[in-house]
């Protein structure tokens, strides 16, 4: 902590769902089941994309990386939430809160970029099938994944530094389930307009631009699919892309609503539910969305689990 104003807050109290005193054990059980299902589901996706030769393609290379990213993204918040619910200690140090927010932003930005990369992969596969193997080489795929992971690191570290450079001197009670920008700005006792503007700029760079690129890719994909002469070909192409599109809508929809809500809007319960949606619920459903709607993944899972 730098400066005298910041010394008044050495830790935050994450209120979480403390108002639901009679449901702490129930919530712990629900979140524990969700976390285990996220680890198992995404872990299985990673495993099958590695061991099944039929899935050694760019599409499944990106899917495996996406599943690993989901595990990391969820692990930033859920273990702490489970600990708070179990031992009823809701305190988090100033430094730990900053670290949690930094990793949350970095991984969230990486997820947006990786979803855009996955949309581009589907665009090349459907709209330029003859050039697919030339464009989406293994080297290019690795570069796109590394770029998705690394691009946001300096920006998000800077964003975190900006937020935690604010003086928090009125209260240390964070009305949220984890350290996030909107509830932290509510606790600041100085003008936050500059930081709010920088948050919107970063949101445009790492949320809006990837989302627009995804929409652009899918407009071209759908246009190409509708021109296919065979209904079977149309169905196969749509089924390949629909899983990714569902994930995009779930993740970007809830995240956009959360970060576009004004700071003055006193709706802590709504913010908590929305944040849980894009940090926990979406990662839980991703393996089901991708596996249940993908015959190749189902076949690979059956072979892995030796189910006939």
Both structure tokens of 141: 């795929």
Complete DSSP assignment for 52-116:
-GGG-SHHHHHHHHHHHHHHHHHHTTHHHHHHHHHH---EEEHHHHHHHHHHHHHHHHHHHHHHH
pLDDT(213) > 80: yes
pLDDT of residue 260: 64
Fold classification of 5-305 is: Rhopdopsin 7-helix transmembrane proteins (1.20.1070)
d(Cα 292, Cα 270) in Å, to the nearest integer?
A: 30
pLDDT(3) > 70: no
pLDDT of residue 121: 93
What pLDDT band is residue 186 in, cutting at 50, 70 and 90? confident
Strands 11-14 and 173-174: parallel
pLDDT of residue 236: 67
Q: Which residues contact 114 (CB under 8 A, 6 or more apart)?
A: 62, 65, 66, 69, 145, 148, 149
Q: Which residues contact 68 (CB under 8 A, 6 or more apart)?
A: 42, 46
| 219 membership: H or E segment, kind and range | helix 209-226
Taking the domains of the chain in order of start, what are their residue ranges? Answer: 5-305
Asked if residue 102 lies in contact with residue 157, where contact means CB atoms within 8 angstroms, the answer is yes
Q: How far is CA 138 from the centre of its chain?
A: 24
Q: What is the mean pLDDT of the chain?
A: 84
pLDDT of residue 107: 93
d(Cα 132, Cα 145) in Å, to the nearest integer?
A: 17
Residues 258-301 have pLDDT tens digits of 666 655 554 567 777 778 887 888 888 888 777 766 777 888 87
pLDDT of residue 303: 80
pLDDT of residue 308: 46
Both structure tokens of 9: 């807050």
Residues 134-177 have pLDDT tens digits of 999 999 999 999 999 999 899 999 999 999 988 887 678 888 88
């Amino acid at each position: 902590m730098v400066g005298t104003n910041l010394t008044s807050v050495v830790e935050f109290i994450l209120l979480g769902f403390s108002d639901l005193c009679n449901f702490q054990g129930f919530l712990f059980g629900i979140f524990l089941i969700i976390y285990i299902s996220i680890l198992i589901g995404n872990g299985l996706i990673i495993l099958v994309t590695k061991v099944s030769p039929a899935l050694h393609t760019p599409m499944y290379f990106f899917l495996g990386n996406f599943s690993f990213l989901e595990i990391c993204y969820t692990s930033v918040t859920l273990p702490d939430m489970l600990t708070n619910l179990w031992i009823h200690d809701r305190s988090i140090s100033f430094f730990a809160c900053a670290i949690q927010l930094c990793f949350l932003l970095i991984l969230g930005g990486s997820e947006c970029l990786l979803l855009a990369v996955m949309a581009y992969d589907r665009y090349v596969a459907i709209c330029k099938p003859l050039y697919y193997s030339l464009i989406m080489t293994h080297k290019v795929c690795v570069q796109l994944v590394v770029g998705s992971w690394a691009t946001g690191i300096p920006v998000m570290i800077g964003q975190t530094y900006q937020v935690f450079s604010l003086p928090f001197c009125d209260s240390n009670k964070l009305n949220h389930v984890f350290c996030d920008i909107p509830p932290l700005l509510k606790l600041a006792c100085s003008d936050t307009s500059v930081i709010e503007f920088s948050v919107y700029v970063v949101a445009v760079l790492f949320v809006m631009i990837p989302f627009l690129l995804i929409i652009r890719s899918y407009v071209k994909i759908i246009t190409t699919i509708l021109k296919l002469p065979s209904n079977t070909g149309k169905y196969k192409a749509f089924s390949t892309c629909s899983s990714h599109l569902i994930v995009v809508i779930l993740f970007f929809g809830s995240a956009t609503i959360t970060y576009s809500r004004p700071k003055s809007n006193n709706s802590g319960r709504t913010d908590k539910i929305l944040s849980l949606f894009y940090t926990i619920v979406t990662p839980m459903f991703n393996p089901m969305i991708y596996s249940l709607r993908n015959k190749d993944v189902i076949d690979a899972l059956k072979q892995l689990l030796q189910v006939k």
